[in-house]
Amino acid sequence: MNDPRKRTLRVILFLIAILLLYRVLKEDEERLQMTTVTGQTMGTIGYNIKYLQLNPVNFKGSIDSLLRAFNQSLSTYIPDSEISRLNRSDTLVFESALFYPILHASRQVFDETGGAFDPTIGPLVNIWGFGPDKTIQVPDSSTVQSLLTKVGFDLIDFNQSFATKRNGAILDFGAIAKGYAIDRVANFLERKGVENYMVEIGGEVRAKGQNDKGEIWSIGVEDPTVEDNEQKLLAIVKLDEKSIATSGNYRNYYQRDGRTYAHILDPRTGYNSLHRLLSASVFTEECMMADAYATAFMVMGLELTKTFLDKNSDVEAILIYADEDNELRSFVSEGIAEDVIMNKAL
């Protein structure tokens, strides 16, 4: 027992044990912790936000007030929102910093898609029974033609300070606002120094970095052919410093006299555009752009969308479509292919 070598060995072992314990405790302290914030916005649309921090702070209050300010500017359901006032009067001097960027992005996607995306589509959406008034009455062609005079993004003029409109056009950002709200929340988190997050609002997502398991965030893409209550994932996608937005005619449609009427309309004809393309999941950096393109692609159909993707290297997509034999098929653009795992071979 008095052997000095043994004693030294014991001391050394003791010191090593202390050192190891210290490292374990320190690592634990430095491990990023995940916070999950959930809630509702834009009426009843759910949101789900996850982010990692060393010292977790719950941002629910700030996120909810950010989203309230968002709706107070851009929701057509709020009578005194900026957008509602513009829709009633024909001019608006912007009060928030929110209006100009969404008009600017809308202009870009409207131009790039030859008018397939058009936020002045509202009057037609209403007449087809997909607006606030859900009474379904298939309109006759003269009604559609007369409403077309009010539709067209060229009827809107704007600069960084104000917007004006003509012909009784009205604006509705329903096809782009969810993505924009996601970008605002993501920017807020980044301003707070958060580097790992996943922001989801109503199915659209933007993600950066890793989750609490140290993996890149993965997002599921739903099968457009299954019913609402039995969502099946068709693919899993890894999402880092990217957004995904999906549009489809598989949820919001009705049938009359053997015909299907769906909520995405071709702004140039006034009729819904049903193609073999069943859903378009679009990937861009900003979720606002992905959201707008996804809607546009449903109007453009499979072939025009593929051509568009060929020409635009900053836009990727997973397209789900029915082939000539009505078999489900998928097209995955090259730039996203290595991040996609298909659940079914299509």
In angstroms, the Cα distances linking 83 to 41, 74, 87, 279, 295 are: 17, 5, 6, 29, 21
Specify the residue, 98 or 170, whose C-beta has the smaller distance to ligand AMP: 170
Residue 102 as a binder of ligand AMP (CB under 6 A): the answer is: no
Instruction: Candidates 152, 224, 267, 301: give the one binding ligand AMP (CB under 6 A).
Output: 267
Tokens of 117: 């995306």
Q: From the list Mg ion, ligand AMP, none, pick the one residue 109 interacts with, judged by a Cβ distance below 5 to 8 Å according to partner type.
A: none
Specify the residue, 32 or 290, whose C-beta has the smaller distance to Mg ion: 290
The least distance separating Mg ion from the CB of residue 319, rounded to whole angstroms, comes to: 15
For Mg ion, the binding residues (CB under 5 A) are 175, 291, 294-295
Scan residues 200-259 and list those touching ligand AMP (CB under 6 A).
247, 252
Which residue is associated with the tokens 């989203």?
A: 67
The stretch among 63-71, 119-127, 217-225, 307-315 that binds ligand AMP (CB under 6 A) is 119-127
Q: From the list ligand AMP, Mg ion, none, pick the one residue 155 interacts with, judged by a Cβ distance below 5 to 8 Å according to partner type.
A: none
Q: Comparing C-alpha atoms, which of 203, 245, 251, 243 is closest to residue 225?
A: 251
Q: From the list ligand AMP, Mg ion, none, pick the one residue 265 interacts with, judged by a Cβ distance below 5 to 8 Å according to partner type.
A: ligand AMP
In angstroms, the Cα distances linking 195 to 121, 190, 204, 317 are: 37, 6, 19, 25
Q: From the list ligand AMP, Mg ion, none, pick the one residue 290 interacts with, judged by a Cβ distance below 5 to 8 Å according to partner type.
A: none
Instruction: Candidates 71, 98, 119, 201: give the one binding ligand AMP (CB under 6 A).
Output: 119
Per CB under 6 A, residues contacting ligand AMP are: 116-119, 121, 125, 130, 174-175, 247, 252, 263-265, 267, 291, 294-295, 299
